[in-house]
Chain A
């Protein structure tokens, strides 16, 4: 067993422990912190795969922004009487969604012909290529995705405002 395998096992352990923590803990705030552990563990695996750019974006977006927004929502909405609610009737749906996405992702991962550099000199896809693909070849889908996000943002503000000023 070489150093890379050891590091991979350690990172996988951290990621899985974080993921199990998210679903196993009784405390929602703890769940958010465990989620951070899992997400940073995934960033570590990206670094191991020489995908520095993806790792840094993972830390920037998920580690910084998403976890904070999540914590914010939990802290501001959690009241003592709601704290007991840990379950709802959507449980079977969640199981189905998890299994379907596991199946689809493993299908995609196993059937895609990956571009591999065996010499370990650098990432198979540099971040320059990634940028060109995102903003030139796939520019329109990118714009549509950002438009959808903008609409969601404006919608959230409208809903919040409507309750504030009747």
Chain B
């Protein structure tokens, strides 16, 4: 590796970093506007035309706010924690390809790299919660560690199932294997599990239990103020954006699309996934802690292993793709039907109890 290579990588990383920061600003504004519309409000309207400069104003406000540190907190770890969350959130992006050639680092084991790096952010959460010397922070970080460790398993297993089907862990190759049929049609069960696990990993509603404002006033970040709090916020949105891109690459066929292959398709697909995240957020309440853990260990993990088993047996016995797809759809329909049957039965029982 020559000096020129290092400089080129540095320039690429700088451009990517600015792209992510820009998209995070847009994401936050988009979320507030879309959420407002879904709840019959207007969202931010005052700053700039239709409130379009609201996030810029918020960022400036955070930058000039006083930087507070609670008494009795652990100085070193308190200041290190935001970075421990921020750095992995951005390292994920280094391995995400935008087209066949436009990628900062085309790793042979790209998928494993993304999974490995994203687990490091849990340490940041725990550090923040412990160093703040606050009961709510500690509770929040304990909740977040339990949630992230639990949902990591279905996430890793569904992502590895994609790698197994593509016979590669390289993201460019995985996208190229999806040229006639994107993987969402072959393994819809895997996509659903990935979506749920991605929502839980990024701590978005209905999985925002670590931050539950009405129970533990904001979780690990209670004691942070000003730009340090802003860094947590940025890292969260950068991770959510990375998950949307990863979903678009793994299940929706990435940059391939009708007419011509272009990064525009990838952006469209990732935007669709982000909008889906917003849509899921708008009408749903927060889960309880026990419901969340029960769902992870009793539903999501067994189903993700079933998905992996299906794909492995399809490869072993040489099933054609349409057969694997058909079986996977059948399992998905059976799971959804079982869930709605159970809900109906439970509702009927509750109604019976209230009528009596």
Contacts and interface: CB of A to CB of B under 8 A. Distances in A.
Nearest to B1: A3
A36 B112 CA distance: 19
A56 B109 contact: yes
A53 B112 CA distance: 8
A79 to B, nearest CB: 14
B59 interface: no
A65 interface: yes
Nearest to A30: B77
A59 B112 CA distance: 10
A65 B119 contact: yes
Interface residues of A, number: 22
B116 A75 contact: no
A56 B110 CA distance: 10
A69 B142 CA distance: 11
B272 interface: no
Contact of B112 (A33, A60, A63): A60
Given A56-B109, A67-B123, A75 B142 contact: yes
A-side binding surface: helix, strand, loop or mixed?
helix
B107 A52 contact: yes
Contacts of A63: 116, 119-120, 123
Interface in A10-66: 29-30, 33, 36, 52-53, 56-57, 59-60, 63-65
Nearest to A122: B108
Contacts of A124: none
B236 interface: no
Contacts of B329: none
B218 to A, nearest CB: 19
A3 B2 CA distance: 10
Contacts of B126: 68, 71-72, 75
Contacts of B149: 64-65, 68-69
A68 B126 CA distance: 8
Contacts of B113: 56
B127 interface: yes
15 contacts: A30-B77, A33-B123, A52-B109, A53-B109, A56-B112, A60-B116, A63-B116, A63-B120, A64-B122, A64-B149, A65-B149, A67-B123, A68-B145, A72-B126, A127-B109
Interface of A: 3, 29-30, 33, 36, 52-53, 56-57, 59-60, 63-65, 67-69, 71-72, 75-76, 127
Nearest first, the 4 A-B pairs at minimum CB distance are: A64-B119, A60-B116, A59-B116, A56-B116
Interface of B: 1, 77, 107-109, 112-113, 115-117, 119-120, 122-123, 126-127, 130, 138, 142, 145-146, 149, 152
